[in-house]
Structure 1
Amino acid sequence: MAELELQSCARLLAERLADRGRRIVFAESCTAGLVAATLATQPGISQWLCGSAVTYRNDTKARWLSVSPSDLERYSAVSPQVAEQMAAGVLRMTPEADLALSVTGHLGPDAPPSLDGLIYIGCSRREPERSTDAICSDFREIRLAASERVARQHEAAAWVLALAADRLD
């Protein structure tokens, strides 16, 4: 997705967060903070953006977000299991957030062909009708269209922002 689309996705998410009075937090691996940095360009976002945990390495994912080390070893960091655990972990650590999204993937170069340009976006949200501790998680698998690393990073960030806005509907 182009830079303009990235900013459009950020603007849409900021509007929806404000309209719905919801707060969001992120756990970012392959985007290395780009999702939160892009959303932070929107005026007034400090009311709705709680933050972002940049957990680029596996040990950081395990220590900061309670991602299972055995799942990291069994499935790798580029997996739906890890994406879901990242989102659930950062939401548990951020009690004021209603929604959490995570992103993990392989942007290349030198990626195994099966993982090259593949990202997983995890989504966790509190279920207020159950309790403040109840968290519902799911994921989305996306094969990025771009072929260059930085373009893939921007495309991945746009996907996260767009899916976050979609989850608020």
Structure 2
Amino acid sequence: MTVSELLDRAKAQGIMIATAESCTGGMVAAALTDIPGSSAVVDRGFVTYTNEAKQQMLGVRGETLDAHGAVSEQVAQEMADGALRHSRAQLAVSITGIAGPGGSEFKPEGRVCFGLAAEGQPTRTETVEFGALGRDTVRQAARDHALEMLRSGLSQTA
């Protein structure tokens, strides 16, 4: 399914979408809004690169950040949930990860955590280890994975 088809399906289902992005810096929102007519489906995108932004804009709890770090499924869940709460959307995807270069023994380069929140459903999270592919490649792969999660979310809400 192309991004255009994703938007068409969301429109047909009456679903608005929000994004909450950290390491991708708005790439998912850009991919969605590159398509003419996307304003019928895309409500808003949050770029929350810092922990402070995650807390202020999405309501991510400081305790969660302290306990698990920004690159965690727990933070991805709170980001996705916050994007739903702070928007008119019924479906939200979140991304937080380490695009590189760098990383650590415990959080290596290429680790990206995702969240998918849909009204009336439990929020789904997952972690993908893309590996040390280089910053641009990790960010593009994370964008594409998030778009795929939105597609699957639309299938589940149909």
**1:109-141 deviation line (CA, Å, top 9, x unaligned):** 1211442201111111111xxxxxxx6312011
| Residues matched between the structures, number | 154
Choose which of 1, 14, 30 in structure 1 pairs with 2:7. 14
What corresponds to 1:160 in structure 2? 146
Structure-1 residue corresponding to 2:98: 106
1:64 and 1:136 map into 2 onto residues whose CA distance is 21
Q: Does 2:17 correspond to 1:24? A: yes
List aligned pairs for 1:1-169, cutoff 5 A.
9-94=2-87, 96-115=88-107, 116-127=109-120, 136-144=122-130, 147-169=133-155
Q: TM-score, normalised by structure 1?
A: 0.86
Q: Please, which runs of 5 or more residues in structure 2 have no aligned partner?
A: none
The structural deviation recorded for 1:19 is 2.7
- Quick one: distance in 2 between partners of 1:122 and 1:12? 21
1:98 is displaced (CA, Å) by 0.7
Q: Distance in 2 between matches of 1:20 and 1:99?
A: 11
Distance, in Å, in 2 between the alignment partners of 1:160 and 1:146 is 19
Question: In structure 2, how many angstroms separate the alpha carbons of the residues matched to 1:159 and 1:9?
Answer: 13
Q: TM-score, normalised by structure 2?
A: 0.91
Question: Gapped runs of 5+ residues in structure 1?
Answer: 1-7, 128-134
CA–CA distance in structure 1, aligned partners of residues 71 and 103 of structure 2: 11
- In structure 2, the residue matched to 1:130 is none
Identify if the C-alpha distance between structure 1 residues 154 and 9 changes in structure 2 by more than 3 Å, giving closer, same or farther.
farther
C-alpha RMSD of the superposition: 1.5
**What amino acid does structure 1 have at the position aligned with 2:93?**
L
Kept in 2, the 8 Å contact 1:78–1:106? The answer is yes
Alpha-carbon deviation of 1:9? 4.5
AA partner of residue 94 (structure 2): S
1:53 Cα deviation from its structure 2 partner: 0.5
Separation in 1, partners of 2:7, 2:132: 25
Percentage identity across aligned positions?
A: 33
